[in-house]
Structure 1
Amino acid sequence: MPVWLRALAPIVFGIAAIVVWEVLVIALGIKPFVLPAPSEIWSQFVARFPTIVQSAGITGLNALLGLVLGVVLAILAAVIAALLDAVDELTQPLVTALSVIPIAALAPVLYTMYGADQQTARVIIAALAVFVPVYVNTLRGLRQVQPVHRDLMRANAATGWQATRTVTLPGAVPYLFTGIRIASSLAVISALIAEYFGGPVNGLATAITSAISYSATSLAYAFVLGSVLLGLLFFVVALGLERLATRHGAPAS
């Protein structure tokens, strides 16, 4: 299938879904407080665009800081676990526990620890959500070196660092960026969820909650649209970095 057709197909499907949504709302006479029409949502999005951008900037910054922090910690932990099997075995239960931590329960605890007027809790929650997929994928990549490649490096009297630099790390890059691509969306989602459970009165999720409390459903959906676009931005940037990093390497699994 041509590249342009693969890119066009989801766009056409999305436009068709929006048109059907608009027609059904009008034809069935659905009240705006139940389900607003896409045209009403877009009108609110345009009218409140500066506010939406400001809220998206706060949520996006928390997600970005959490993403960077989670990726750095995950890479360091994966490298150590790849070098020391004992560390890997000891950290497996911890990583499993991190993957099932309920954000709804953790957020209030962190707000109590760091203060309800600080963004710290939101960054930490995003970092925790990012850590697991990046750690798991990076560790898997670091262990993908074929025995024949190790034997070849030994036969050429390569040092441990030379083998790591020329074989292990390049082989792990596709896996690392696959983890980052997955984690990019999780960072935004986690930052949004954390905003629902306290903290400073700013960010996209807080704006959605505020609009709903005033029965401004169309405005709430406009902020939801801003959240979707923010998540897509993170995903597209991560995907672009992955394509750039793996262009001349092995494909990510």
Structure 2
Amino acid sequence: MKAAFGATRGVIPPLLLGVVTLLLWQLAVAAFDIKPFVLPSPTAIGDQFVNNLPTVWSNSLVTGFNSLVGLLIGAVLGILLAILASLVRVIDELSSAVVAAAMVLPIVALAPVLYSMFSASQQTARQLVASLAVFVPVYVNTLKGLRQVRPVHRDLLRAHAASTGQTIRVVTLPTALPFIFTGVRIASSLAVIAAVIAEYFGGPIGGLGKSITTAAAGSNYPLAWAYVLGSILLGLVFYLAVLGIERWVLRDRGT
């Protein structure tokens, strides 16, 4: 009973804040006669979202697939490079500059370049942009987690003649697991954002970013915001999915 009450107490305040925000938004648009090209009303956006739900869904599948591919590629590369950096000092020193550069690399400029490198009719460029956005937080958090292992634990395994692989499997990765999931959870939403931005700047037809561009170019701003709403919901789905996996894995391990 207490657990259920605690969960409800954690959900109700954000819901109330969301409802109040939407009401104030609706009132502000009506009271100040705000034009749709500046800010459509929530009711107008909701109408467009419901009326175009099949289109929003189909485009969400395209963006979701690109985001998922980017999330998997970026997470795997980030974890593997972090493991290598924790084992080899030279790789750690060299990769720090690469990661620092990746942090400030503008996706807006990167997407058109990748479209020129790969076929503009393929989703490859969008997936690579999402991968890059995912790689940085996963790498940083994983490397931090790998460095949390206490020296006494390493010494204990070394005293028992454990190999490097055994040490990583038995002590290092389990200790770093919460940090790894933190990085992936942060990166899950970034993957969606990066995929939408990449779609916004070109590539094949399909995807929420492309749909936002098309709707805005046709001056159908409520529809453009409806696709933005679809992007928000997609990002929440990714975040909650990773959060659910994280809780299941860490609970199963007793962490």
The TM-score bracket by the shorter chain reads: over 0.9
Cα distance, 1:197 vs structure 2: 1.4
* In 2: Cα distance, 1:4 partner to 1:129 partner: 33
Q: Which amino acid aligns with 2:230?
A: G
Q: For 2:182 and 2:53, how far apart are their aligned partners in 1? A: 32
For residues 97 and 244 of structure 2, the distance between their equivalents in structure 1, rounded to whole angstroms, comes to: 33
Residue 227 of structure 2 corresponds to 223
Which 5+ residue runs of structure 1 have no aligned equivalent? none
- The yes-or-no answer on 1:136 pairing with 2:140 is yes
Tell me the TM-score normalized by structure 1.
0.94
* CA distance in structure 1 between the aligned counterparts of 2:70 and 2:178, rounded to whole angstroms: 21
Q: Distance in 2 between matches of 1:98 and 1:216?
A: 35
Given that 2:154 and 2:167 are in contact with CA atoms closer than 8 Å, whether structure 1 keeps it comes out as: yes
Structure 1 residue 61 and structure 2 residue 73: aligned? no
> Conserved in 2, the CA contact under 8 Å of 1:173 and 1:245?
no
Task: Note if 1:246 corresponds to 2:231.
Answer: no
> When the two structures are aligned, how many residues end up with a matched partner?
251
Shift of 1:245: 2.3
Residue 211 of structure 1: aligned partner: 215
In structure 2, distance between residues paired with 1:123 and 1:245? 27
Does 2:14 match 1:10? yes
Identity of aligned residues (%): 54
- Specify the alignment match of 2:47 in structure 1: 43
Measure, in 2, the Cα distance between the counterparts of 1:114 and 1:107. Answer: 11
Deviations 1:86-138 (A, max 9, x none): 11111111111111111111111110111111110000010011111111111
**Rounded Cα–Cα distance in structure 1 between residues aligned with 2:110 and 2:150:** 41
Matched, 1:70 2:71: no
Retained in 1: the 8 A contact 2:200–2:212? no
How has the CA–CA distance of structure 1 residues 164 and 34 changed in structure 2, closer, same or farther, with 3 Å as cutoff? closer
SS at match of 2:100: helix
Pair 1:124-2:131 in alignment: no
Residue 250 of structure 1: CA displacement?
8.1
Q: Is the deviation greater in 45-54 or in 75-84?
A: 75-84
Find the partner of 2:97 among 93, 96, 99: 93
The one-letter code sitting in structure 1 at the alignment partner of 2:188 is S
The CA distance in 2 between the partners of 1:154 and 1:111, in whole Å, is 49
Cα deviation code 1:181-216 (max 9, x no counterpart): 011011011111111211112211111111111111
Per mean C-alpha deviation after superposition, the further-off stretch among 162-171 and 22-31 is 22-31
Q: 1:23 is matched with which residue?
A: 27
Shift of 1:155: 3.6
Letter aligned with residue 184 of structure 1: S
Residue of structure 2 aligned with 1:177, choices 181, 192, 196: 181
Q: Which runs of 5+ in 2 are unaligned?
A: none
Shift of 1:248: 5.6
Query: Which amino acid in the other structure matches residue 174 of structure 2?
Result: P
Match among 110, 113, 116 for residue 112 of structure 1 = 116
With the length of structure 2 as denominator, give the TM-score of the two structures.
Answer: 0.93
